Amino acid sequence: MTTAHETVSKYWTICEARDWAGFAALLAEGVVYDLPQPRQRINGRDAFVRFNVEYPGDWHVTVERVVGEGSHAASWVRIALDGEDLPALSFFEFDDFGLIVRITEFWPEPYDPPAGREHLAESY
Amino acid sequence: MTTAHETVSKYWTICEARDWAGFAALLAEGVVYDLPQPRQRINGRDAFVRFNVEYPGDWHVTVERVVGEGSHAASWVRIALDGEDLPALSFFEFDDFGLIVRITEFWPEPYDPPAGREHLAESY
């Protein structure tokens, strides 16, 4: 069977290619896409595919890291969108058929360095 | 040898216990701790241990997910600090001795749901 690592690598390749039929084929019908930061959830394959199809802007994906273990995986990708380059961190869960049943995704934004760590940290 | 998954589980248990000698023992001498959001980096075991020892506030860690594969791992934890409950996402790299040589860590913050996805997303 395809490993969690392989499926997540394919997931991002397929996203970048806008191959939405191939994308849908990686997802369980009841997949849940969870965004803890805005506290929003998209329920089901049809809605989640549509969310991606409708996502605005000319975005592009670069994969930084994929880690897979059993029925779990995590990825760190960079999304280039409108001149910005933002990281996205995703945690995947798989069902017994190797389909994705849950994605929890985070979109961290830049922030100013907190005071009090200048003696330990180097800025870049 | 201890797996990447086991070491990362231990890393968070040890953080919560403030066992800084045990913490240091998981790290390579040249470990790099990278925070892409403020674009800061802490170089070396001594500085990184000190960064954790000095970290202000009565923080507590709850592990949500650890995924390990070969010389890589990822974790998603929640940090309770001053009444807040913030996720932290960490990507770990290991050397040939099973010591942590690099951690890239993200601290995503809450944001308001963007407009235009109300027909697909459920708020919680």
Element housing A105 (H / E) = strand A100-106
Spans of chain B below 50 pLDDT: none
**CATH number of A35's domain:** 3.10.450.50
In a domain, B13, yes or no: yes
pLDDT value at residue A70: 98
Q: Does A36 touch chain B (CB under 8 A)?
A: yes
In a domain, A31, yes or no: yes
pLDDT value at residue A28: 98
> Considering chain A, what percentage of its residues have pLDDT values greater than 70?
100
Q: Which of B51, B106, B114 sits opposite A120 (nearest CB)?
A: B51
Please answer whether residues B33 and B49 qualify as being in contact, where contact means their C-beta atoms are separated by less than 8 angstroms. Answer: no
Residue A49 φ/ψ, nearest 5 degrees? -65, -45
Give residue-wise pLDDT tens across range A60-77.
999 999 999 999 999 999
In a domain, B83, yes or no: yes
Question: How much is the pTM?
Answer: 0.96
Q: How far apart are CA A47 and CA A101, in angstroms?
A: 14
In a domain, B115, yes or no: no
Structural domains in chain A (count):
1
In a domain, B120, yes or no: no
In a domain, A119, yes or no: no
Give A-chain residues touching B38 at CB under 8 angstroms: 110-114, 123
pLDDT value at residue A30: 98
Answer whether B47 sits within 8 Å of A117, measured CB to CB: no
Which of A38, A83, A29 is CA-nearest to residue A60? A83
Residue A26's domain comprises 4-106
Tokens of B15: 């953080």
Answer whether A42 sits within 8 Å of B121, measured CB to CB: yes
- CB atoms under 10 Å from CB of B57, counted, come to 10
In a domain, A15, yes or no: yes
Which of A39, A100, A43 is CA-nearest to residue A75? A100
pLDDT value at residue B25: 98
Give residue-wise pLDDT tens across range B13-38.
999 999 999 999 999 999 999 999 99
In a domain, B122, yes or no: no
ipTM reported for the complex, 2 dp: 0.95
Largest CA distance in chain A: 52
Residue A27, pLDDT above cutoff 90: yes
